[in-house]
Structure formats: structure tokens, C-alpha cells
């Protein structure tokens, strides 16, 4: 079983690459954004709880996010592995994920960061914003704020996983198939 954490700033290509990785390595793709939307849309108990925080503009507490993620892992007992996208975002979440997986005799195999220059990513998102309908992709100030939040909260996870010898950086700039090939070179070593 391989369990992969996919990192990258907004616009780095995580969604595009996650779609490829889940098929190639037969992984269950767990996107926290998708999980939140599903739980809220289906009015689950966890979805209602998350919505109370989101409606106030607050971040959903780790314990709620982790419970949602655990529920998704538990729904897939026959999985060959998981691709975590958008989680963990903090060291506390990473520690909780490690503890949860350890209880299932599993662990994170590798964390892979799609790295790219902020200026290139800003242009990507502004371009995507023309068709995505997402307001946070149409405002350069909001985009840069998202990058600052990523640097402050998510980037320290790199050191956490480096200390475990599980961190790999991959150049996220180039044609989609070129980036896919770079990712495959890393992940194929775990097959």
C-alpha cells in the first residue's frame, strides 16, 4: 500500500496531476475540498458542523476535518493506497494523520511537492479565473494572500516530512506530461 500526500500552491497543478496519479497507482483520491463539499451538500452531521464554522468565515477545526477524512478512509477498506490532496495543511494535522494511519498499520509513504514560481502561478490562476467562475482565482491580491497562507502554514510541513525522509520536490512547470513523468520517477521507486 502506498499513501501519498500531494503538496503545492494553488495553481501548481495538483488537481491535474492527482487525476493521473490515482489512475496509474490505483489510489483513492481524497481531496479535502471535495470531502467538505460532499458533506455539506448531503447535509451530514460533520457537514453541518463544518458549515457552522465556514459560515462565520472561520477555518474548520482540525478535529472536524480529520473525522471527515477518517470516514473516507474507512469507506475504502480495499484501497491499494490513498492520495491525500489538501491535507494535511498543518503539522498538527500531519501528526493526527500519522496517528490515525498507524492505528491501521499504515503510514505516509511519500510527500510530493509540485514547486513553481509564484509569478507563473499567479498568471495561471488569473487565466483559470476567466473560466472557472471562482472569485478567488480572479483577484491577484487574494491569490497572493493564499500563497502567504500556504507559506506560513503548509510550508513547515516540508521540514516535518524531510525529517522522516519522506519529502520529494518536483518541478511543477512545463507541459502536463512532463510534470507527470517527473512525478512518476519519484513514485515508481515505491512500487
Catalytic residues: 14, 89, 128, 134, 146
Tell whether 48 is in a known binding site: no
| Cβ-count burial 21-47 (b if 16+ within 10 Å, e if not) | bbeebebbbbbbeebbeebbeeeeebb
The rounded distance, in Å, linking the Cα atoms of 88 and 101 is 13
Is 15 annotated to bind ligand?
yes
- 134 annotated to a ligand binding site: yes
Tell me whether residue 64 is annotated as binding. no
**Residue of 29, 168, 164, 146 whose CA lies nearest to 95:** 164
Q: Taking a C-beta distance cutoff of 8 angstroms, is the pair 116, 107 a contact? A: no
Is 13 marked within a binding site?
Answer: yes
* Ligand-binding site membership of 60 (annotated): yes
Strands 2-8 and 81-85: what pairing?
parallel
Question: What gap in Å lies between CA 131 and CA 191, rounded to an integer?
Answer: 38
Reading the block at residue 145, the C-alpha cell is: 494572500
174 labelled binding-site residue = yes
Known binding residue 12? Answer is yes
Residues at the binding site are 11-16, 32, 37, 58-60, 86-89, 93, 128, 134, 146, 174
Residues at the binding site for AMP are 32, 37, 58-60, 86-89, 93, 134, 146
Residues at the binding site for ATP are 11-16, 128, 174
Amino acid at each position: 500500500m502506498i499513501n501519498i500526500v500531494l503538496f503545492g500552491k494553488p495553481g501548481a497543478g495538483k488537481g491535474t496531476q492527482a487525476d493521473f496519479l490515482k489512475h496509474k497507482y490505483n489510489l483513492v483520491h481524497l481531496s479535502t475540498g471535495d470531502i467538505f463539499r460532499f458533506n455539506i451538500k448531503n447535509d451530514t452531521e460533520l457537514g453541518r458542523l463544518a458549515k457552522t464554522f465556514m459560515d462565520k468565515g472561520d477555518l474548520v477545526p482540525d478535529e472536524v476535518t480529520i473525522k471527515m477524512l477518517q470516514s473516507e478512509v474507512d469507506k475504502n477498506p480495499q484501497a491499494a493506497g490513498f492520495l491525500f490532496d489538501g491535507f494535511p495543511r498543518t503539522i498538527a494535522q500531519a501528526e493526527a494523520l500519522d496517528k490515525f494511519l498507524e492505528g491501521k498499520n499504515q503510514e505516509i509513504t511519500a510527500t510530493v511537492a509540485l514547486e513553481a514560481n509564484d509569478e507563473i502561478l499567479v498568471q495561471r490562476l488569473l487565466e483559470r479565473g476567466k473560466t472557472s467562475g471562482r472569485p478567488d482565482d480572479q483577484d491577484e491580491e487574494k491569490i497572493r494572500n493564499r500563497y502567504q497562507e500556504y507559506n506560513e502554514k503548509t510550508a513547515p510541513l516540508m521540514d516535518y516530512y524531510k525529517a522522516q525522509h519522506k519529502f520529494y520536490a518536483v518541478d511543477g512547470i512545463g507541459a502536463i506530461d512532463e510534470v507527470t513523468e517527473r512525478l512518476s520517477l519519484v513514485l515508481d521507486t515505491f512500487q
